[in-house]
Amino acid sequence: MNYQFQFQPYQRPFKTPLKTAHGIWNIREGIILNLTNKQGNIGWGEIAPLSWFGSETLEDAIAFCQKLPSIISTETIFTISDSLPACQFGFESALIELNSNPLVDLSKLQYSGLLPTGEIVLNTWKTLFQQGYQTLKWKIGVDEITTEINIFKQLVKIVIETLSSPQKIRLRLDANGGLTFEQAEYWLETCDLINANQDLIEIEFLEQPLSISQLDLMLELCDRYSTSLALDESVANLQQLNSCYQQGWLDIFVIKPAIFGSPRKLKNFCQKNKIDTVFSSVFETDIGQNSALKIASELLLYNRAVGFGINHWFIS
Ligand SMILES: O=C(O)CCC(=O)c1ccccc1C(=O)O
Ligand SMILES: [Mg+2]
């Protein structure tokens, strides 16, 4: 099958720049593309690279699109190199939109809301909870650990004072690989204590405490603490997911479909191995988000909230 192909780069500034252990992020850049079939139907796709996470760069993606002819085949799409995972996602999801039933039911998904870094979290959690979020994520490894643990304990205290059973908040902590082993131990001891002693706030997991090169140490942390751990940066694409799975990771895997690579291959892997997944955004536009959420709702096994909160305060 042949399709007419068009693409257009975009830039969207964050209202408030996003702070993570990787640094400050001001502008989300990507590419919107479309494929038109012989009947004139159009399928939209998005390429939203995240090179600091290990995907291709935006420049790589633009260069790839520029080299393609204006008429491309299904075969071209299914043979995009594994070194261009965000492109694999963008083109394949446009194909999926053209060729499959668009009525995937997204209404059963629960969403996780992203909290801002720093002390302001002591107010924001409540706003998000009142908007209906029961799962929240807070970035750590951004400030001094003593400062962060202190804010964290205040947050837990405030939540416990405010909620009453059966109300409950699940909190995810995302270190973006920014902790040392000793700092991760300190966080996990703190989380284990909280989880053992009350039911109003559950620390659902600690996400990517250490760098990609330290999988052995993260496996050790899984053995030593009862709070769950999730890999994110370590499993940014199919090759990495395969490798971590082979090395024995049995806890949670965060999957960012937009940079992971071929949705078809992702589906095969998840259906074969029944892994415990959290699907998550890379701040793509609605086009990429819709494709990613369809994948999530097909593949989600343990009903964990998806990391696609509506971040009104981030993107203008
Ligand atoms: O996963 C979520 O809940 C929100 C998305 C998120 O945290 C994120 C968004 C863009 C890039 C990296 C990350 C991350 O999980 O580290
Ligand atoms: Mg993460």
**pLDDT, tens only, 242-262:** 999 999 999 999 999 999 999
Domain holding 47, by residue range, is 1-97
* Residues 158 and 31 reside in one and the same domain: no
Residue 121 sits in the same domain as residue 59: no
Encoded tokens for 80: 């995009």
Q: Residue 302: which CATH number?
A: 3.20.20.120
Residue nearest to atom 14 of ligand 1 (CA): 176
Q: How far, in Å, from the CA of 207 to the mean position of ligand 2?
A: 6
Same domain, 228 and 188: yes
- 161 φ/ψ sector (left φ>0, alpha ψ -120 to 50, else beta): alpha
Where in the sequence numbering do the catalytic residues fall?
A: 139, 256
Give pLDDT, residue 6. Answer: 98
Residues 25 and 140 grouped into a single domain: no
What pLDDT score was predicted for residue 313?
A: 52
User: Do 259 and 197 share a structural domain?
Assistant: yes
Q: How far apart are CA 316 and CA 311, in angstroms?
A: 10
Same domain, 160 and 204: yes
Tell me: do 88 and 119 sit in the same domain: no
21 and 146 within one domain: no
pLDDT digits (tens, 9 = 90+) for 44-76: 999 999 999 999 999 999 999 999 999 999 999
Q: With the C-alpha atoms ordered 261, 267, 268, 273, is the resulting torsion angle positive or negative?
A: positive
Nearest C-alpha to atom 5 of ligand 1 is from which residue? 281
Looking at 41, 63, 97, which one is the last position of a domain? 97
Residue 222: how many CA atoms within 13 Å on its side-chain side?
16
With a 6 Å cutoff on the Cβ, whether 135 touches ligand 1 is no
> How many structural domains compose the chain?
2
Residue 274 structure tokens: 């029944």
Dihedral sign for Cα atoms in the order 20, 23, 27, 30: negative
Residue range 183-191: mean pLDDT, rounded: 98
Which of 14, 20, 208 most suits a substitution to test ligand 1, by most atoms within 8 Å of the C-beta?
A: 20
Instruction: Report yes or no on 103 lying in a domain.
Output: no
The CA-to-CA distance between both ends of the chain, in Å, stands at 38
| Residue 20 pLDDT | 76
| pLDDT, tens digit, 9 for 90 and up, residues 198-256 | 999 999 999 999 999 999 999 999 999 999 999 999 999 999 999 999 999 999 999 99
> 75-133, pLDDT tens digit by residue?
999 999 999 999 999 999 999 999 886 677 888 899 999 998 889 999 999 999 999 99
For residue 188, what are its two tokens? 């996990």
Same domain, 36 and 148: no
Please tell me whether residues 217 and 305 are part of one structural domain: yes
What's the burial of 243, exposed, middle or buried (CB within 10 Å: 0-12/13-18/19+)? Answer: middle
Ligand number nearest to the C-alpha of 304: 1
232 CA distance to ligand 2 middle (Å): 5
Does residue 105 form part of some domain?
A: no
Provide the CATH number for the domain around residue 7. Answer: 3.30.390.10
| Residue 290 maps to a domain | yes
174 belongs to an annotated ligand binding site: yes
Q: Is 18 in the pocket of ligand 1 (CB under 6 A)?
A: no
Checking if the pLDDT of 135 tops 90, the result is yes
Q: Is pLDDT above 90 for 194?
A: yes
Q: What is the DSSP letter of 212?
A: G
> Ligand 1 test: best mutation among 174, 259, 289, 312, most atoms within 8 Å of CB?
174
Determine what percent of the chain is predicted with pLDDT higher than 90. 89
Domain termination site, one of 97, 126, 145? 97
Ligand 1 atom with minimal separation from the 282 CA? 10
What is residue 314's predicted lDDT score, i.e. its pLDDT? 55
Which runs of consecutive H residues, i.e. helices, occur in 112-171? Answer: 121-130, 145-162
Residue nearest to atom 13 of ligand 1 (CA): 282
Nearest-angstrom CA–CA distance, 292 and 280? 8
260 and 118, same structural domain?
Answer: yes
Claim to verify: residue 203 and residue 115 sit in the same structural domain: yes
Domain end position, chosen among 97, 118, 141? 97
Atom of ligand 1 nearest to the CA of 137: 3
Pocket test for ligand 1, best of 51, 134, 281 (most atoms within 8 A of CB): 281
Residue 316 lies inside a defined structural domain of this protein: no
* CA distance linking residue 97 with residue 75, whole number of Å: 17
